């Protein structure tokens, strides 16, 4: 009896398997198989599964894209050196004109907590509030290139032709904060000091010296002056702009090579994106939610804004 029960069980199992197999191969029937359902309704993917250096195109057709910032609502602002126009890219990807800047050449910018932009315009420094109203804060630069604010409202501006960093106080007094290490009469037209940024505690100012291939660090003294500089890294090929993450890693755009690199606390360089862009210029972290794990890159040559994944909780 047990023998017959065993045979019967085997037959039922085989029939069940045949039934399953026939269901899975009915490709031309109206039956929706399990695999198709999984494709149509994927599970949410964690940032843990995204590869470092993954690139997405956010916007294109922005001629001469250079400076870039992200506001606290997730909007992206990118400036065009060719049209002196700042474009706004909203979270849906819509691109609109935000402001036409009356300057010689629109370069890089930063943003404050009230979403006002501070823009380096080669011959001048301007402020643009969130309504688009423009105010000139300082002038008589040879090539104002990049700009940052400290916690006290002081504004720091690189002049890439003069090889200097200027400081503009809240009452709009302009002075040399870091002077050139080369006599002005020996400077040739070119990009000397380009980008600058602070660490998260605003204790140190980092600058990119494009022509010399250096990243330098200047401590901020209690009296508001720059301390003795330290070379963070040398031998880079045209470092242009830079940002620091919450851990102190430095993200640097490499201009004509079109790359993005990360310098860690031990001085090791990691290539995040190698020769992925045309001319890599401005860089900015996202500011809200998971967007803080990404940097945005402006590509001057191709007129494209890219979004690059760099890791969890990168922005501060």
Q: Hunting for tokens 């360089």 — which residue is that? A: 269
Q: Please say if the pLDDT value at position 276 is more than 50.
A: yes
At 82-91, the pLDDT tens digits run 999 999 999 9
> Is residue 205 classed exposed, middle or buried when 0-12, 13-18 and 19+ CB atoms within 10 A define those classes?
buried
Residue among 171, 154, 149, 162 at smallest CA distance from 122:
162
Q: What separation, in Å, do the N-terminal and C-terminal C-alpha atoms of the chain show?
A: 75
Q: Under CATH, which number does the domain 54-309 receive?
A: 2.120.10.30
Q: Please say if the pLDDT value at position 120 is more than 50.
A: yes
The full set of domain ranges for the chain reads 54-309
* Number of neighbours of residue 7 by Cβ within 10 angstroms: 10
Give the mean pLDDT of 149-156: 97
Helix (H, G, I), strand (E, B) or coil at 290: helix
Q: Please say if the pLDDT value at position 27 is more than 80.
A: no
3-state secondary structure 155-185: EEEEECCCCEEEEECCCCCEEEEECCCCCHH
Residue among 146, 145, 163, 166 at smallest CA distance from 154:
166
């Amino acid at each position: 009896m047990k023998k017959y029960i065993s045979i019967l069980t085997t037959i039922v199992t085989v029939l069940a398997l045949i039934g399953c197999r026939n269901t899975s191969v009915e490709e031309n029937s109206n039956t929706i198989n399990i695999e198709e359902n999984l494709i149509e309704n994927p599970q949410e993917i964690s940032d843990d599964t995204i590869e470092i250096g993954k690139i997405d195109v956010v916007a294109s057709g922005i001629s001469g894209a250079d400076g870039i910032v992200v506001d606290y609502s997730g909007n992206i602002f990118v400036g065009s050196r060719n049209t002196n126009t700042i474009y706004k890219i909203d979270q849906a990807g819509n691109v609109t004109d935000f402001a036409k800047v009356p300057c010689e050449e629109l370069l890089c910018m930063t943003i404050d907590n009230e979403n006002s932009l501070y823009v380096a315009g080669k011959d001048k420094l301007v402020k643009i509030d969130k309504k688009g109203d423009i105010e000139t804060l300082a002038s008589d630069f040879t090539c104002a290139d990049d700009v940052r604010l400290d916690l006290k409202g002081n504004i720091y501006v690189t002049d890439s032709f003069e090889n200097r960093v200027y400081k503009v106080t809240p009452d709009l007094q302009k002075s040399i904060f870091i002077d050139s290490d080369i006599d002005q009469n020996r400077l040739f037209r070119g990009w000397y000091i380009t980008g600058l940024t602070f660490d998260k505690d605003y204790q140190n100012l980092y600058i990119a010296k494009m022509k010399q291939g250096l990243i330098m660090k200047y401590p901020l003294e209690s009296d508001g002056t720059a301390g003795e500089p330290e070379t963070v890294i040398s031998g880079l090929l045209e470092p242009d702009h830079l940002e620091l993450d919450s851990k102190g890693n430095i993200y640097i755009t490499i201009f004509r090579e079109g790359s993005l690199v990360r310098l860690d606390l031990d001085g090791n360089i990691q290539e995040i994106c190698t020769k992925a862009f045309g001319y890599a210029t401005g860089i900015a972290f996202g500011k809200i939610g998971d967007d803080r794990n990404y940097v945005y890159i402006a590509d001057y040559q191709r007129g494209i804004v890219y979004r690059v994944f760099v890791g969890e909780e990168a922005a501060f």
